[in-house]
Amino acid sequence: MPKLFLKLVHYFFDLKKNLWHKIEIINNKLKGLIMTNELKSFTTLKTQSELMLRASRKNDKAINKDSMALSPLIVAYMNEVRDNAEWSLARITNTIFDAVGYDNKAVDKQGESMKSPSFETRVKRATFDALLEFYQVNPFAEAEKQMHNENGYKRNSEGELTLPHNVLLPIIEQEIDGEKQELPNNDSTRIKVVARLREKHFAQVFKGMSRKSSSGTGKIDFIKNANELDKHLRSISDTKIFDMAESDIKILQSLENTLNTFFETRTSLTSTEDGNVINTAIK
């Protein structure tokens, strides 16, 4: 009886050992597959980036087209990388620059700068779109719900980044019997979002999140202060507005004029093919 028991113990021990060995083999194969997919997506991303870099050296003017081609390749690579590090503009651009050996501080044999603003603009725009798509950003949602949102950015079958119509425009104004009436927009059809608007959404979500607190540093966070002022002015009563000191009113009027000038200037700014910003109102 003891011999039979010992045989059973050895049998199950060997069975468990063989099972763990097989599991280890499967895990190793899966790891190899993951590495292969990651390497494949990285190679594809590297190849496209090298093409863009060469095109930018020739003053190629297809910035938007190149950015749209690169963006889904960035997302594919992001999906294959198995780590817990957060994706950011800096991480992605550094990955691409390192992959193609690009150094904006390098000079050639004649001492000329190797910097390519055109290439950097291509990569930056592609990265904006990649982050919006990868994190499925809904820029209009509450801060804690902006990421991985079902109504966030998605790429359609034509390769265009889209948002639902009622997310972009939740309220529609129509004229009824000669009077303007606001109506809720129930149309959830996804529509293409233009590049400039995507850039604004990126700045709104990612740059706002990455802005570090300035408390204790002696620096003034002007945007934070402006946000607090905005909330304050929206909340004060008519009585408080009426009783506001004339000196305070003059400060707010000056701020209004400054903001008007700021936004007028901003609407006149545009990005050139080589990545420079120019004011079209200045002749």
Mean pLDDT by 10 residues, the chain (283 residues): 53 54 55 59 76 62 70 90 84 89 82 81 90 95 91 94 95 88 93 92 75 43 80 85 83 89 82 66 65
What is the pLDDT at residue 192?
95
**Does residue 121 sit in the same domain as residue 42?**
yes
**Does residue 81 sit in the same domain as residue 174?**
no
In a domain, 80, yes or no: yes
pTM exceeds 0.75, yes or no: no
* SS3 labels along the chain: CHHHHHHHHHHHHHHHHHHHHHHHHHHHHHHHHHHHHHHHHHHHHHHHHHHHHHHHHCCCCCHHHHHHHHHHHHHHHHHHCCCCCCCCHHHHHHHHHHHHCCCCCCECCCCCECCCHHHHHHHHHHHHHHHHHHCCCCCCCCHHHCCCCCCCCEECCCCCEEEEHHHHCCEEEEEECCEEEEEECCCCCEEECCHHHHHHHHHHHHHHHHCCCCCCCCCCCHHHHHHHHHHHHHHCCHHHHHHCCHHHHHHHHHHHHHHHHHHHHHHCEEECCCCCEEECCCC
**Does residue 234 sit in the same domain as residue 168?**
no
In a domain, 4, yes or no: no
What is the pLDDT at residue 154?
96
In a domain, 120, yes or no: yes
Domain residues for 79?
11-134
What is the pLDDT at residue 272?
63
Euclidean distance between CA atoms 271 and 108, whole angstroms:
27
What is the pLDDT at residue 48?
74
Positive/negative CA dihedral, 270, 274, 275, 276: negative
In a domain, 6, yes or no: no
Residues 86-119: pLDDT tens digits? 888 889 999 998 888 888 888 777 777 878 888 8
**Does residue 128 sit in the same domain as residue 163?**
no
What is the pLDDT at residue 213?
39
Cβ(70)–Cβ(82) below 8 Å: no
**Does residue 126 sit in the same domain as residue 21?**
yes
Which of 182, 211, 240 finishes a domain? 211
**Does residue 100 sit in the same domain as residue 193?**
no
Number of domain units in the chain: 3
Euclidean distance between CA atoms 86 and 48, whole angstroms:
23
Which of 189, 211, 233 finishes a domain? 211
**Does residue 206 sit in the same domain as residue 114?**
no
In a domain, 278, yes or no: yes
In a domain, 21, yes or no: yes
**Does residue 17 sit in the same domain as residue 125?**
yes
User: Both tokens of residue 131?
Assistant: 């982050």
**Does residue 114 sit in the same domain as residue 151?**
no
Which of 66, 100, 134 finishes a domain? 134
In a domain, 218, yes or no: no
Euclidean distance between CA atoms 138 and 91, whole angstroms:
22
**Does residue 97 sit in the same domain as residue 191?**
no
Angle, helices 63-80/89-100, rounded to nearest 10 degrees = 100
**Does residue 46 sit in the same domain as residue 90?**
yes
In a domain, 1, yes or no: no
Query: What percentage of residues in the chain have a pLDDT greater than 70?
Result: 73
**Does residue 35 sit in the same domain as residue 126?**
yes
